[in-house]
Chain A
């Protein structure tokens, strides 16, 4: 799933090195527009819905956080 999300992120924001950047939000690499585009792309691919508690700076700071978040939302969906 990590690779799948990586591919999706690279398609959405091709100028950002998601594999190596560790502080996407803290370093200001993702603006609000990019965050929303990413949420849009992920929601469509996995048919999931993000809630307010999911959309936090700490859950979007790097690829691993985002992958973990998507897994959590998917688990919540099947419960």
Chain B
């Protein structure tokens, strides 16, 4: 087996070994590894031939919903030697503009279906249409230009940028190199694994780091990536019917989805036989939800993962012990091989023997992102020098998450250090919501807190704007998952003796 530098090398291998096996499927369409490889190369040919004659690599912003064409666009961009930036098609134009400003140079790629959403968002710049590019390049899959572009990829080259919520209202672009994803694939396949005959039921949006598992573990194992339509996630029985129909064996979802199934006691109506492995990450799994699932599937494998986008996918893994009765939380586990995780309290590293003492999770190793794209200040704040006893001239990433070591040497998550919360499985800076509200006319003050039990974003504000108008105005400023769940117009907000907003009091009222 020859050396692999990027995910492209896995795709070429599948093209040779399992050309006719299904690679990606949607509701009524599917594509084989041979087709995926050739179509991606054709798209790459179009991208190369329409690019800047100087040969400069500019990122390709993929403005598409989860789909086969999105997967082709990812590989097409990589085959062209460039890197991709997946964005949410429901991104309001202000946020999209902020992302584009950060990128400085870019090309936007959309498809016929999502073009309408791009225009509806208010975007008025240039863009490429997937179907047009593919149409121009039929039969060009073996062009020498593609070969040259692929040869130019180094494992230190950027592979993608994923934008996350930023506290100042400006989204941060986590820029990740090929080698971090290759490292993640090796780690995951060694410890967790996926089989060639698995069918992986995709829920994670491609603009979220969680989708790396779905996209690249299916690639590395030759399994099928089965894209579950978004509307299934509103209707638990539809989702179970889809799993049953497509014979899905492997799911890596946010706990919210597992909760929806449990909430409506759906498995009693339909229990798909095909399921073999269930994984959760993105936020803490609630024990009653897990117990509900275990009641129907006592003998399958359950895994919990942990890791922010800045460390590429996940940095720790934990195989749930089906026989054990957990009281409290399911651990987030141990770091993968070739990944370092430490708990830090101020300047001090908490030894593993010092059980139950909380510290900030810091991560180091090949998994670390290159930093926040075009944002050296934020990069410097989050990526600091690794203590020299752990490595020479290395960086470590401060996650802002708190955890402690348990008696088995596993990490147990215990909350956030700041006002960043997990809502619907997505990482949100409450400050970004508050900034959006503050930017509206007729708002005097506001505070947003997270109700963990209901997973609700609760906004309090003082101002003359009605609750209805406020919600309308926010619709164009924030993505749907950041829109407050409950809005309370109030006369006053609690204050601390120093006059600062007393956020804790509002938090207590909600938790």
Q: Chain A interface (Cβ within 8 Å of chain B)?
A: 10-11, 14-15, 25, 28, 30-37, 40, 50-57, 60
Contact = CB atoms under 8 A, between A and B. Distances in A.
Interface size class of B (residues with CB under 8 A): 20 to 34
Query: What does DSSP make chain A's interface, helix, strand, loop or mixed?
Result: loop
Interface string B439-455: 00000000000000010
B90 to A, nearest CB: 8
Contacts of A34: 480
Nearest to A40: B454
Interface string B420-432: 0000100000000
A35 B265 CA distance: 17
B234 A35 contact: yes
Interface stretch (B38-46, B135-143, B467-475): B467-475
Contact of A33 (B231, B265, B467, B480): B480
B488 interface: no
18 contacts: A11-B467, A14-B468, A14-B472, A25-B234, A30-B234, A31-B480, A33-B481, A36-B234, A50-B264, A51-B265, A52-B264, A52-B268, A53-B237, A55-B234, A56-B235, A57-B231, A57-B235, A60-B235
Contacts of B265: 51-52
A56 B234 CA distance: 8
B468 A10 contact: yes
Interface in B452-485: 454, 467-468, 471-472, 475, 480-481, 485
Interface in B472-511: 472, 475, 480-481, 485
Given A14-B468, A31-B230, A51-B265, 16 more contacts: A11-B468, A14-B467, A14-B471, A32-B231, A32-B234, A32-B260, A40-B454, A51-B264, A52-B237, A52-B268, A53-B269, A54-B264, A55-B235, A56-B237, A57-B234, A60-B235
A23 B38 CA distance: 38
B276 to A, nearest CB: 23
Interface string B352-365: 00000000000000
Contacts of B238: 56-57
Interface in B250-273: 260, 264-266, 268-269
Closest 9 CB pairs of A and B: A32-B234, A52-B266, A35-B234, A14-B471, A52-B264, A32-B233, A14-B468, A52-B269, A15-B475
A31 B234 contact: yes
A25 B471 CA distance: 21
Nearest to B270: A52
Nearest to B65: A28
Nearest to B90: A31
Nearest to A38: B234
Nearest to A56: B235
A11 B480 CA distance: 16
A15 B234 contact: no
B471 to A, nearest CB: 4
Contacts of A30: 234
Given A32-B260, A33-B424, A55 B237 contact: yes
Nearest to A28: B231
B122 to A, nearest CB: 15
A55 B231 CA distance: 12
> Which has the most chain B C-beta neighbours within 10 Å: A32, A37, A52, A56?
A52
A45 to B, nearest CB: 14
